[in-house]
Every structure is written in structure tokens, then in C-alpha cells.
Amino acid sequence: MNKVDLQNEIASLYEQRNMLVRARSEAEAKNSGANGNNANEVRKNGVSNSTVSLSERAFAEFSKIGVPDQRFEEWKYAAPKLFKAASAQGALSAELVIKNAMVLTVEDGEFIIEESSNPNMLSGVTVHLISDDNFETDPSVAIAFESILEKKNLPFASLQTAIEEYTIAIHVTGEIEVPIHIRYITNSLGALLISTPTVLLFAAPNSKVTLVEEHVSHQPGNTIVTSLTSVVAQSGSQVNYIKVDHGTGQKSIAHTTADVFSNATFNAYTACLQGGFVRNDLHVRLLEPSADVHMYGVSVLDAEDLADNHTVVDHVAPHCTSRELYKGLYGGKSVGVFNGKIYVRPDAQKTLAYQANHTLLLSDSAQINTKPQLEIWADDVKCSHGATTGQLDEDALFYLRSRGIGMQAAKQLLTNAFVGEVVDRLPVTEVREFVQQHINNTLHVTEIEA
């Protein structure tokens, strides 16, 4: 696969979507005419005319950049690996099982009803497909998509909006005790690009919910899989968002946006576990006073894996707090990328913003490219950012060895202590244990030696 092949595939998918829209519009127009209804009010592709316009605008936005290459600053490190053939080696990844969770399954871009939970299983949670409802009856959906399009320099997010056929909307009221688990499974070997349904999560005032996204590939290949999640955390709500990538070689390009309102908290946890190519874009806006965001990430890579994490925190309102901590363990010839931006707008006085990226290189061939950024236009703020890169402390290893602990076990203790600051914060027990087990497997850890 090369850039030209991917561009041709994108053009084909966009045309297929437009053909589907026209076909459905014509069919519904005939039914509308037969029933004496106004054909101008017929929905296209299951949604209103405004959505078609949205698709056109999104594709135009994508076309401004197109498929990014090294000349595009935001993709300078990831672009070279986007078209590189994935390794066919690697064991099948275990499944993440969360007890009592509501499960929504998306396989090769299609929502699989038979492998999903009953959408009515949780009181206070409503799940529906936008293609089945009138777009204009849910203004929050229109606002969410407009917010997505406002974010520039995200070509694949614009592409996702342009070519997707339907959207999964989740509305939450009250405090939901069990997680919502969305499983993105890739089995296709032949497709160049798979676009998954966009997920819109709306947390009502004073609600609480945990959303777990699992991205897994059971087959090694070069398929690019795009995903888009947009969260709206209304006043007083709390949203825990967990994203876990693991598998045998898919190329995952994921975008997550969050708008956080007064006294609401958005907690984001990202785990990139040995699996090929992962690009995460996480954009958070703190729109009203006392909105908070906490972002934690851990990447554990080996072989020729790549994990590219780009984050943006936009402090729009005063008296808001953001805390960001990303850690990485990189072995083999793996490549890590962290690009974190914090914007503090002129009206965002009394802002507290902290950002840190810390990395351990476990081999001489691994590399990390880190770029913390802070732009401040307000004068009464407390902000800091920083990054560190190093290797395991030889003195610490010697101390543990002198106490009778074997070399492999000593490395386990030090590396687990290093990433534990992030892993231990994961709010779902099954996810925390799953991530820890993957870390141990990647580091080839066994029982601690006597």
C-alpha cells in the first residue's frame, strides 16, 4: 500500500457513500410521495439534509491536507510507518472481559447487534443509531459534529465524518455503576481502510459513566482503521474514558474530543500495548469555570511498533484544572511520539495546568520523540510542563541484585514501579489487570526469582 492507493480508496469510499445516500433518498421520496408527504423533508441516509451538507464540508476539510506525509508537522514521525508493511509475527491477543458491562461490538466497521448487549440493559443509558432517527430531533448531535469540524489539522477525523454511514449516540443520565464497553475488532485482511461508526457520548448534568474502548486486531495486516469519539460532559458530570489498543498489527488512527462544562470532570486513560501502529489524537476543551480534565497514558512497545500520542487541552474558561501524565516503555526498534499542547486563553485566569511525559528506553534501538508545548495568554495562572528520557538505573538494578533478586525480576520491579503511577489509576479492575498482564508479557516477565 502507498499514498496513491489510499487516496484512491478514500475517493471510492466517499463516492460509494454518496451513491447510497442518493439511492435511499430516491426510495424514501417515492414512499413519501405515495403517502402524500413532502419529499423535501425526506431524510437522506437515515438522517436529515444537514448531515449530507456536513459530509461535504468534512470531505472538503480533509481535502485541504489529504493523506498526511512527513511534510505535515503533526505527522512527521508517524507518516513513514503508515505505509510500511506490518510484521506477520505476533501471538493472538487475549480478549478484555469486563464483568457485567454493557457491550457494544463493532467488527470491521460494522455494528454487530448479535454480539452486543441489549441497549436497554442499563437504566439511565440510551443507545441509538443516528441512521435510524431524524437528525434534527436531536440538536445535541448537530452541535457535537459542528464541534468536531471546528478542530483543524485532523485530516482523518474529517474523513471519518465524511464517509461514515451512521453514528452511535449514547445518552447518559444518573450514576451508571457498570462500564460501557465498546469493542472495535478488525479481522479483515484485504481492505485498505475501514471507517468505524462515530461514537457520541452525552453525559447529562450530575451524571457519572465509564466508557471503555478496546481496539484489537486478530490478524496481522496493513488495514488502516479510523475511529472517532466525541464526549460532552455537562455540568457536574463525571466521565471516565479508557482506550486500550492491543493486537497483532492493525494501523489504528483514533480521535477523541471532549467538551467539559462547569464542575464536570473528564478523566482519560490511554493504553498502547504492543500492536503495530497506533495514532491517538485527544482534544479537550474546558468551556466553563471549574471544569477539570485528567489525562493519563501508558505505552509499552517492542519490535517495530509505533505509538503516536497527540494531546490538546484548551483552557477557555477561568478556574479550570488540567493534569496530564504520559509514560512509555520502549524496547526493540519501537518508536514513541508524544506531542502535548496546552492553550490558556485570555479569559482563563486562575488556571492550573500540569503536563509531564516520562520515558524509559529498554534497548539501544528504541527511540522517543517528545514535544511538550504551552501557550499562555493569561497572566494569573500556574502552569508547568516537562519531559524526561532515560534507561533503567544501574545503581537500582545493582541494589536489587545484591539482595538476591534475579536480573529479569529486578527489571520487572523497576519498570512496573515506573508505569504503575499510570496503570494503578485505571478505574476498572479488569482493565487494570489486563494492561498489567500485557506489560508483563511484553517485557517477558515471569515469577520473581528468589
Closest CA to 385 of 326, 442, 297, 315: 326
Say how far apart CA 446 and CA 188 lie, in whole Å.
Answer: 33
C-alpha 144, offset from chain centre? 16
The model's pLDDT over 117-128, given as tens digits with 9 standing for 90+, comes to: 998 899 999 998
Q: What pLDDT sits at residue 162?
A: 87
Q: Has residue 75 got a pLDDT over 60?
A: yes
Amino acid 152: pLDDT: 75
Average pLDDT on 121-148 reads 75
Residue 48 has pLDDT above 50, yes or no: no
* Lowest-confidence pick of 217-221, 256-260, 272-276, 285-289: 217-221
Query: How high is the pLDDT of residue 199?
Result: 95
Give the per-residue pLDDT at 192. Answer: 84
Write phi, then psi, for 205 (nearest 5 degrees): -50, 135
Q: Is the pLDDT of residue 140 over 80?
A: no
Average pLDDT, the chain: 86
Q: What is the phi-psi region of residue 350: left when phi exceeds 0, alpha when psi lies from -120 to 50, beta otherwise?
A: left
Q: What is the pLDDT of residue 55?
A: 82
Res. 131 pLDDT band, cuts 50 70 90: low
| pLDDT value, residue 47 | 40
Q: Residue 71 pLDDT more than 80?
A: yes
Question: Is the confidence at residue 290, as pLDDT, over 70?
Answer: yes
Name the residue ranges covered by the structural domains of the chain.
53-392
pLDDT in tens, 6-23: 888 888 888 887 787 777
What was the pLDDT predicted at 441?
Answer: 83
Phi then psi for residue 149, to 5 deg, are -70, -20
- Measured in whole angstroms, the distance separating CA 446 from the mean position of its chain's CA atoms is 31
pLDDT for 46 = 38
Cα separation, 274 vs 285, whole angstroms:
30
- pLDDT-derived band of residue 40, with 50, 70 and 90 as boundaries? very low
Q: Beta strands 382-390 and 352-361: pairing type?
A: parallel
Percent of the chain topping pLDDT 90: 54
Average pLDDT over residues 222-232: 91
Residue 155 amino acid letter: P
Q: pLDDT at residue 84 above 50?
A: yes
Residue 436 bridge partners (DSSP): none
Rounded average pLDDT over 56-72: 88
Binning pLDDT at 50, 70 and 90, where does residue 275 land?
A: low
Residues near 166 by beta carbon (within 8 Å), at least 6 away in sequence: 45, 46, 111, 129, 130, 131, 132, 197
Asked if residue 234 has pLDDT above 90, the reply is yes
Report the Cα 376 to chain-centroid distance in Å.
Answer: 26
**What's the Cα-to-Cα distance from 206 to each of 128, 259, 411, rounded to whole Å?**
22, 15, 44
At 42 the pLDDT is: 36
Mean pLDDT of the region 29-36: 64
pLDDT tens across 397-427, in order?
A: 899 999 888 888 888 889 999 999 999 999 9
